[in-house]
Amino acid sequence: MRNTLLAGLVLWTANAGSEPHAPKTGRPCGALTSAPPSLTQVGWTSPDEAPDWPALRRAAGRIVGVTTKEALSNALAQAQPGDYICIRDSVRTVDWSGFRTTVDGTAERPIVIGPETERAVTFTAERPFLWIRVTNDRYVVGGFRFHNFGHGVFHVRNGADCRFTRLDMRNVGRSDPHAWAWEVSSGSARTRIDHCYMTELVKTGRFNVKDPAQEPLSTGCRFDHNTMEGLMKGGSTFCQLGQGDFLTNNRADPSDNGGQWNLGVLFEYNYINSIKGRYGEQPSVKSSGHVIRYNYWRGGRGVPKLRQCHRTRVYGNFFESLEKDTVTPLSMNGSNLHVYGNIIDMTHGKADCGIRTLMGGFLRNTAYPQCRNVIIEHNTIVNPNGHFKHASVVANFSQALTRNHAGCENEIWRNNLIVADTGAYAAPVSVVVTSPVPPVSLSALNNLVCGSAAPGGLLTVYGTNTVTGDPRLDHAYRPAPGSPAIKAGASIGTEIQDYYGRPIRGRPDIGAVQTF
């Protein structure tokens, strides 16, 4: 359930552990249809839950007009709950930075820093100074452009229930190679970042983890309806969910026990287009309790990577036409992961493989937990032109960076639909065992495979009750009448949704879309 405050402005939403709502109509369909995919429900141009600045001004306790840097500093120092600090259109393009909040808003009367007219004001700053540091609760900030900005735009620390919306961030961090465009760190629960546009950044942003024993985590945050695209300038092109100082300083390994890493970020309805950075992980995940759903990845190499990730669900996402044979649309290492109802279509692209589980971590010479209790089911992978370098789905045990890893345990690949003529290295469904650590309790059940390995393929199809034949998918990735996928899946223990948000029950169809 969502709480709506101040004339339709959604300030925060329930955390990632809540029940999902069904995806909206008009979500992207993909490369099998002659019409281009609809983008009406994803990305920063979506009208869904977008802010209404005139309504916010009308509901404000008072409007504080700002035309100078000094006036904005004074307005923040003297702010009262319910203020709308309005940066006037006459400001246009200015070199302003170095602001800080001092007063809390309230649940009924947040403090708003907003525009007179959305995107009329552009902030620039050659100096490596942050635009604003938020250390108080219940702020709404948005409606501005940040172009050619020397440092980051905002950092929230110990500021809960804040929202950052309709920010246009381009070429941010140009004076500081270590600058994040945005950062949410300790004690900033239920922070929401939505309807923002991000491109040409040194680093995108992160929900940072310090030391859970010393500082509270920023739990229940939401990152939604954002657009990230274009060339990212630095090597770290991540939107990070939980990767931060605590991890990169080698201080500890995230554990699946005790919930100390349970950030619970809801990552949904984002459009990630043609990311071309060195790593391209959008998002990179090193924590627990997340939901990654209803996002659209298109082109480039910006894909999610779940590194030491626990208790996380990934469903209802669409991947289309990636362009690098070293990129895997979905790769994961962790425990209690559930991946279902996703569509991966490489008809006009190429990738390393479709879905991969792997051993090993990110930091060398550090022990990481094994990949265990992972269910990958009801996904559709389309690769008709041999554009995967390896197999379509891979349970991979060759990625150990040290020799002390246990094998993957309790891993299930079930009811996935694979249309794939793979490259020269692999058959469509493969288990790769090139390290000395064997798999433990891995099963592949009732997957449909249509395709074959290229001549000389090195690996083998793995699984039981494998269904073969043309699934006869229509433009919506639905099996047409007579398809061998219909009612051929294994029964599942818990109810999940297909790609379009409809419940999967009983003896299901194989694949991400059910016929009903």
- Interval 317-375: pLDDT, tens: 998 877 765 577 888 877 888 999 999 887 776 666 778 776 544 344 444 556 778 89
C-alpha distances (whole Å) from 34 to each of 87, 363, 474, 476 are 45, 44, 11, 11
| Residue 428 near residue 449, CB atoms below 8 Å | yes
Task: Give the number of other CB atoms < 10 A from CB of residue 90.
Answer: 10
In this prediction, residue 213 carries a pLDDT of 64
In this prediction, residue 498 carries a pLDDT of 92
In this prediction, residue 452 carries a pLDDT of 60
- Cα angle 396-402-405, degrees, rounded to a multiple of 5: 60
Residue 4 vs residue 342, higher pLDDT: 342
**Residue with token string 């599942």:** 492
Q: Over 70: is that where the pLDDT of 237 sits?
A: no
- Residue 276: Cβ-neighbour burial (10 angstroms; 0-12, 13-18, 19+): middle
Q: Over 60: is that where the pLDDT of 458 sits?
A: no
Over residues 431-458, mean pLDDT: 59
